[in-house]
Amino acid sequence: MSVWVPPAHRFARALIGLSIVAAVVAVVYVVAVGPLPQRVLTSAESFVADVVRVWTEAG
């Protein structure tokens, strides 16, 4: 049997959940901007450049 929760409490719970998700995303972003992902970013850039090159050659 579930307890009835007033709408304000539901909103507060959703806000807390969103803030937790935002905090996790912020931590992941800070970790991702560290020295390691610089390699990942350059490889992603080269991948995008390859895709664009192949797309322009095919078109």
The mean pLDDT of 34-49, rounded to a whole number, is: 70
The mean pLDDT of 2-22, rounded to a whole number, is: 82
Closest CA to 32 of 23, 41, 45: 41
* Domain assignment present for 44: yes
> Tokens 């560290």 — which residue?
34
* Domain assignment present for 58: yes
The mean pLDDT of 34-46, rounded to a whole number, is: 67
Q: How many domains does the chain have?
A: 1
* Domain assignment present for 37: yes
Quick check: pTM over 0.95? no
* Domain assignment present for 9: no
* Domain assignment present for 33: yes
* Domain assignment present for 7: no
Q: For the chain, give me the number of helices (H) and strands (E)?
A: 2, 0
CA distance 35 to 46: 18
For residue 53, the enclosing domain spans 25-59
Q: Which two tokens stand for residue 29?
A: 């972003």
